[in-house]
Amino acid sequence: GAARSISTVPQYAASVRRALGGDTPQQAVIQTVRGRGYRFVAEVTESDSPSPSAFRSPRDARRSEGISKPRFVGRHELMSTLRAALEESLSGETRVVMLEGDPGIGKTRVVEELCREAAESGVMVLTGRCHEGEGAPAFWPWIQTARDWTRLNEGKPIPDEIEAEAAFFATLAPPKGAQVAKPAAQAVGAEARFRVFDRAARGLRAFAKQAPLVLVLEDMHWADPASLEFLSFVGAELHHDPVFILGTYRDKELHGTPELFQTLADLTRQPTFRRLSIRGLELDYVAELLAQIVGSDVAPALAESVAALTEGNPFFVVEIARILGAEASGLESGDMAEGSEIHLPASISDTIGHRLGRLGAGTRKLLSVASVIGREFGITLLSEAAGTEPEQIFEPLEEASAIGIIEPAQSSPDAYRFAHALIRETLYQGILGPNRARLHRAIAEALERHHSESAAPPLTALAHHWYQAVATGAVDKAAEYCERAGLPALSGHGFEEAAVH
């Protein structure tokens, strides 16, 4: 039942190899044939014995689980507070919660855990994530929630009382190939935007009457001004409706995002709003997280050292555990002597760099190109930008997927995404300026070729990449696409983005 594409074979091959555990050689069962594909090479015998997985040790089983996603640990007080807010929203009292914390501190994991519980209770969960950097259209996180609603209700009859609102939200997420109209004169202005916001808020209220809503807005430190203004509007308009809005942002980036700072100030005046902070894990949970990845209990001295270095940041803890586990740094016994010398990376960047260093040079180069595309990247676009055939990037993508650097994207069977924004940021920041401009140009040219016959090309992404490629002499292209991207932003009431373009 899974969608098949040129990317699914390496994904499944990597999954099989992970399932076999760390003691099985990478090529022992599925052999990679460079430039061709894969060959099944394991010796096969018929047997009535239990499957080989039954003989895996608990250590191998826990290691395999840890590669994909460690179990959720800690956060009991925070989860209790969020569950209470969710219950209040289910009883008909709107709640808006913004969860703040450092990069890698576990904001997304907390949100995922709460959304899982909400979905199990029959709540409709709609998710939007802001795009890091530039290149996304105005209202991007809200557009994604609208698409989520459309997907979840596809094929279902729409009640008369919300038909108009459903049609309006469909305009936020037009189907591919739809024509983008030029802005009408009367569509421009604060009054026009207010009418749009008012209708959208009424739409949310109508949808919530059909089923309680949880709206997730992740990475709001990257949100465009129009999205933040709409959040302020909704926070002021919705009060006695079964709607729970849960946003996340990096608190240390508030000083560089005055629009988010103002939005939080506006929301603070509303009785429906709550601002929560997420901090590092306590020592016991750091030790538990380390044990999950390593596969056995770790010595108290090691847990204390890692907790002190990482300040309980789960992403950092997991990355260090994987490094130490891969290098078998005295972790097998769990009785490391107190005071033993432990060589740990000095920062998150060093930790990520250490794990990237385990990859081949070709794989690291390919991932650098992918980081210029963004957090999520398609195989075809990546191969064109890198100047290679799609079949030739299977092996490096498999290598990166096998150690958790990238993972299959949910949006498309032909796409991957970096497992964490910090990995993408580390790779992108490591590209020198001239080479970065050259890669932006290669991506812009590939996008242009792909959408040469499209009625609705990704104008915002094209404007972003051509603008970043100005140093290569792409001034005319940058001006052309910035102007073309400004028009739909204007017609869509994204006035701030239109001005930027």
| Concatenated DSSP letters of 379-422 | HHHHHHHHTS-GGGGHHHHHHHHHTTSEEE-SS-TTEEEESSHH
Do the strands 273-277 and 95-101 form a parallel or antiparallel pair, or are they unpaired?
parallel
pLDDT band at 395 (very low <50, low <70, confident <90, very high): confident
Report whether pLDDT(171) > 80. Answer: no
Mean pLDDT of the region 295-314: 79
Specify the residue for token string 């390496």: 10
pLDDT tens digits, 175-198: 444 444 444 444 567 788 888 888
Mean pLDDT of the region 428-447: 89
pLDDT tens digits, 238-268: 888 899 999 999 887 777 788 888 899 999 9
Q: Which two tokens stand for residue 254?
A: 């508030």
Question: Are 414 and 5 within 8 A, CB to CB?
Answer: yes
Question: Are 419 and 406 within 8 A, CB to CB?
Answer: yes
pLDDT at 336: 36
Containing 81, the helix (H) or strand (E) segment is helix 76-90
Report whether pLDDT(283) > 70. Answer: yes
Report whether pLDDT(58) > 80. Answer: no
pLDDT at 24: 61
DSSP letter string, 99-151: EEE-TTSSHHHHHHHHHHHHHHTT-EEEEEEPPSSS-PPTTHHHHHHHHHHHH
Q: How far apart, in whole angstroms, are the C-alpha atoms of residue 248 and residue 100?
A: 6
Q: How far apart, in whole angstroms, are the C-alpha atoms of residue 223 and residue 220?
A: 5
Category of 244 on φ-ψ map: left (φ > 0), alpha (ψ -120 to 50) or beta:
beta
pLDDT exceeding 70 applies to what percent of the chain?
Answer: 78
pLDDT at 475: 93
pLDDT at 185: 41
381 or 337, greater pLDDT? 381
Do the strands 243-250 and 37-40 form a parallel or antiparallel pair, or are they unpaired?
unpaired
> Quick one: angle between helices 361-373 and 433-450, nearest 10?
70
Q: How far apart, in whole angstroms, are the C-alpha atoms of residue 175 and residue 482?
A: 22
Report whether pLDDT(169) > 70. Answer: no
Which residues in 136-235 belong to E strands, given as ranges? 213-218
pLDDT tens digits, 329-364: 444 444 433 434 445 555 666 777 777 877 888 888
Q: Considering only 179-183, 382-386, 449-453, which range has the smallest mean pLDDT? A: 179-183
Bridge partners (DSSP) of residue 20 are none
Specify the residue for token string 């190109």: 369
Mean pLDDT estimate for the chain: 78
pLDDT at 456: 80
pLDDT tens digits, 128-139: 888 776 667 788
Report whether pLDDT(423) > 80. Answer: yes
pLDDT band at 117 (very low <50, low <70, confident <90, very high): confident
289 or 330, greater pLDDT? 289
Q: Which two tokens stand for residue 43?
A: 């010796």
pLDDT tens digits, 59-104: 343 344 334 567 888 888 999 999 999 989 888 889 999 999 887 8
pLDDT at 6: 57
pLDDT tens digits, 407-417: 888 777 788 88
pLDDT band at 34 (very low <50, low <70, confident <90, very high): low
Report whether pLDDT(389) > 50. Answer: yes
Say whether 48 sits in a helix, a strand or coil: coil
Q: Cα 344 vs. chain centroid, distance in angstroms?
A: 27
Q: Considering only 44-53, 75-84, 215-224, 420-429, which range has the smallest mean pLDDT? A: 44-53
Q: How far apart, in whole angstroms, are the C-alpha atoms of residue 217 and residue 135?
A: 18
Question: Are 150 and 173 within 8 A, CB to CB?
Answer: yes
Q: Which two tokens stand for residue 239?
A: 């009060």
Report whether pLDDT(170) > 50. Answer: yes
User: Is 0.95 topped by the overall pTM?
Assistant: no
Handedness of CA 16, 18, 21, 24 (dihedral sign): positive
> Quick one: angle between helices 300-310 and 283-294, nearest 10?
110
Q: Phi, psi at residue 327, to the nearest 5°? A: -90, 0
Q: Which two tokens stand for residue 6?
A: 């040129």
Mean pLDDT of the region 137-153: 82
283-303: burial string, b at 16+ Cβ within 10 Å, e else: eebbbbbbbbbbbeebbeebb
